[in-house]
Structure 1
Amino acid sequence: MHRPETANTVVHIAIDAPDALTLPVLVEVPDEGPPSVSLSVAKFARYLQREGMRSYETLRKYVVAIGKLKDYYTLVRGGEAVPSGELGSLIEDFLHAYDHGSVLGWTDATQNEYVLCRTAVLEYVKFVMDVGSATWPANEVRFVEACRLSWRTAKHAEQSLLFHTKKRLRKKTGGRKKNSTGLRQYKPFPANYLDALLEETKNPRDRLLFSTLAFGGRRVSEVLHAYTHDVVATNEALHYRLAHPRKSLIEWRTLAGASVRGTRAEYLKSQFGMLPRTEHGALPSKLGWKGIKFDDEAAQTSETYFIRNADKELVALHRKYLHEVRQRVPRRHHPYYWVGEDGEPLTQKAVEGQFLLARKRVEERFGIDLSGYGLHSLRHYFGFYCVDVLRADLLMIQKWMGHTHVSSTAIYAHISPETARDELRKAEKRKGSPAEEPRQPSAIERHGSTAIGVVDTRRLTRKTA
């Protein structure tokens, strides 16, 4: 496989900060001499991280995009001082090359990749323009100055610079065309093998987790954020509460016995000296949070709604997990419900690994291939069941699945061919088959021998007389 040419690489370094544990940085690897960290890119990434407006994964993609800009300047432009008349097109030429994959072994960029790269480059250039040149080390000064001149020498920068990007993103003129590599497929886990998957999952923790995903319809990242007191059995029914990992409100008692109310981020810091898992950066313990529509917008919490009577069926498994599985693992100082064999918060990678093992056992048992189904297919099963079996309203499914927009719910609204045929037959039966409908008289039968387009000469003769 051909690998693109590059003079940079992205690494994640540990940082001592109150709001983050790691930071993505760009390391320049010259042909001669030791590698060095790009200070301007590191400062830019840390600035965005401190502002808290970008996820860690987006920060990483921003650093990768700026690394490609540096590759273009170094490997294509030669890294030399370019006349100011040509610098005005440096960034524009780079984006055009990135868009079409015309240099350094790049491939055509997709719509999302292109827009993200463009945004990252523009924000970086604006950032370095606001910072004094004396800040940067000698090996970066020339590149930073090239970016500044590229911006300043372009006429009407906001209007004309990168004009082709604005034009291509304008949908009224046809939009920016992107390559089609096939239809996107959404796969709910096969209903006839779901019970077998749960049977082949011997660990009570994993069986409970997979059941929660399939019968509760939530994302695995949302489920793994739960604290121990978020999952309770009340009136022989399991209640699973979801809460924003940083902003959700919570009450707790300090060691002095005082009652305190604050956010979950404040609770983690004061009681456990931890950051929310959304801020763990590149560590294995990191978790994402895509965003959900909360039942209680003020507290930013929501309930999990179970299908197939699972809220009652899972109570015994919940108690077995707490009183048997968790008793065997080391106790750790954290509030999380799901834990690994070492007692630390369970990682998403570990869950995916256990799912693959269970899926392999099902494949061997039935002699089938389920390689196209991942952990997220359990959430798709929930959506499929609600539409295909329950015939539930789309707005109601939106609430059960926690989607902010109903258009997201529609993605999960699969209808099987069998159900489509059954519904068509039922509709025809309600309407009545053609053989049972009363036969309507023809035009000739209604008007005698006079048909449409034929003149009745007798009536015409009488009228003339």
Structure 2
Amino acid sequence: MMVSDSRSQHHLYRAIQGVGRFYDFYNIIYKGKSLAANEMRGLMRQFFEAREYGNEKLGWAPVSKKAAIDDVRYASAFSKFCHDNLGTLSINPYEQKLLQDLNISEHTNYYAEIKNRSKWDMLHHLTPETQLGQGIIGNYSFSPKPKLLKQAQHNDYFPPEKVLPLLANTKNIRDFLAFLILFFGGLRESELFHLFATDVTTPIEDEPALIHLTHPELGIYTWDSPFTGAHKGMRAEFLWGRYQLTPRNRLAIKDPMHAGWKGMMYTHKGYGADFYWLVPQMGILFAKLHRKYMHELRSNATDAHPYYFINVKDSDFGRPLTMSNLTKSFYRAAARVGLRASDPGVNPHGARHFYGHFAASFLNIPEHTLQLMMRHASVQSTRIYYSIDERVVRDAIKRGQQKLYEEIPEFVASMNRMIERL
């Protein structure tokens, strides 16, 4: 997976867990007995049901349908690999269909996938040469369908009225900068830990800071070597050549320095993406604090790594900040404003949901614009934010009523006289 498909450590870790669960299911429920091809047809379906609804004998609690589907796909992919390379029977046979054999719904999904590929796949121009481009669709014989994306619930995002109090109760400048990016830049928490110090620039006074986003391995980077001069290459090359470091998304999942990378819509060559401040004033505030942070803290760290966010305590000063430490800082700040980690939306990812919800409901930003702002590969991921907040509805009604009083007072007067007569 990692070599052929460029899968991350986190993806590999989840795949191993899924195959391990299937192995347990087969040995405990089926007692490891040999199965004929026709007996295996129900095996994957029963495994899926055991994951989704739980299984007392295995000690499994019910999980989400998505988690159950993921485990089916991981086990199916492993079975296909064994079938292709070792000649074993396939537990979940892989079938191919021609485009003309698909139903209307499958046709729609096919064309939507082809269209969306151009937004995230740097090699989408080669699609016509692939089986997908030639209308040959492959899938497993048992392939449960995921639930449709539902509208985001109001409790998915960090409480808007607590955002500024949380910032005001943040104890150090590094955490303040990180929280500004989470709430008003819409980054995922893991994306913070791939930023280099050179990725943040402040063009001129009273202008928002500029933040450069790129793939932690494949992103193009330019650097100077005291021995060999100017270089331009991938970030993975720079990290290894300069610091003998591996990109943080490639570290073992349990390594304290590990930081995941889900991917994003790349809008520039070299796997680059744009960054947008939700409120420009917060970008200006960030720029001012950035100058102070670089002068007082970051510039005093030894040149042992290029990362922007560092530990600021004396015992561990200068080392790259870890996700664990920032998450603890986030919950401590939340506790200072009366929030608990168990409260809806009170987590670092809730800050990203706040960004999307505020942009959609309060700023009325169009859907495809917000897709670019949040760097979603698919607009489907953006649509969950377009359930209008009831407070926005109430405010709109109040504004409409005020407009009635101001622009057509005779209508309001007539309406009031009618009510009085009743």
Same fold (TM over 0.5): yes
CA distance in 2, matches of 1:405, 1:83: 41
Distance 1:124 1:429, change over 3 A: same
| CA apart distance, 1:337 | 0.8
TM-score of the aligned structures, taking structure 1 as reference length:
0.67
CA distance in 1, matches of 2:382, 2:183: 16
Unmatched 5+ residue regions in structure 2?
A: 98-138, 415-422
**Aligned AA (1:57):** H
| CA apart distance, 1:339 | 1.0
Aligned to 2:189: 220
| CA apart distance, 1:120 | 1.6
Aligned to 2:25: 72
| CA apart distance, 1:212 | 2.1
CA distance in 1, matches of 2:382, 2:95: 40
Distance 1:309 1:126, change over 3 A: same
CA distance in 1, matches of 2:82, 2:368: 46
Which segment is superposed worse, 423-432 or 51-60? 423-432
* Equivalent position to 1:288, from 260, 263, 288: 260
Q: Is the 8 A contact 2:371 2:379 kept in 1?
A: yes
User: Any residues of structure 2 matched to 1:250-399 within 5 Å, and which?
Assistant: 250-282=221-253, 283-326=255-298, 331-340=302-311, 341=313, 342=316, 343-363=318-338, 371-372=343-344, 373-399=346-372
Q: Is the 8 A contact 1:88 1:149 kept in 2?
A: no
| CA apart distance, 1:85 | 7.2
| Residues 1:50 and 2:3 aligned together | yes
Q: Is the 8 A contact 1:251 1:262 kept in 2?
A: yes
CA distance in 2, matches of 1:256, 1:116: 48
| Residues 1:402 and 2:375 aligned together | yes
CA distance in 2, matches of 1:107, 1:369: 25
Q: Is the 8 A contact 1:89 1:150 kept in 2?
A: no
Aligned to 1:233: 202
Distance 1:117 1:299, change over 3 A: closer
TM-score of the aligned structures, taking structure 2 as reference length:
0.73
Deviations 1:80-110 (A, max 9, x none): 5567875676556544544554442334453
Distance 1:379 1:81, change over 3 A: closer
**Aligned AA (1:201):** T
Distance 1:100 1:279, change over 3 A: same
| CA apart distance, 1:320 | 1.8
SS in 2 for 1:261: strand
* Equivalent position to 1:247, from 195, 218, 223: 218
Distance 1:71 1:286, change over 3 A: same
Distance 1:380 1:111, change over 3 A: closer
CA distance in 2, matches of 1:327, 1:297: 30
Q: Is the 8 A contact 1:332 1:344 kept in 2?
A: no
Deviations 1:159-198 (A, max 9, x none): 9x985x34x54xxxxxx789x9x98554433333322211
Unmatched 5+ residue regions in structure 1?
A: 1-47, 134-147, 170-175, 440-465
| CA apart distance, 1:327 | 5.2
RMSD value over aligned CA atoms?
A: 3.6
Q: Is the 8 A contact 2:54 2:63 kept in 1?
A: yes
Which segment is superposed worse, 403-412 or 222-231? 403-412
Which segment is superposed worse, 90-99 or 336-345? 90-99
Aligned to 1:122: 76
Q: Is the 8 A contact 1:201 1:358 kept in 2?
A: yes
**Aligned AA (2:59):** G
SS in 2 for 1:229: helix
SS in 2 for 1:250: strand
**Aligned AA (1:312):** I
Q: Is the 8 A contact 1:265 1:275 kept in 2?
A: yes
SS in 2 for 1:252: strand
> How high is the sequence identity, in percent, across the aligned residues?
27
Bigger-Rg structure (1/2): 1
Aligned to 1:191: 160
Deviations 1:273-301 (A, max 9, x none): 22211111211211122222234245523
Distance 1:301 1:91, change over 3 A: closer
| CA apart distance, 1:374 | 1.1
| CA apart distance, 1:410 | 3.0
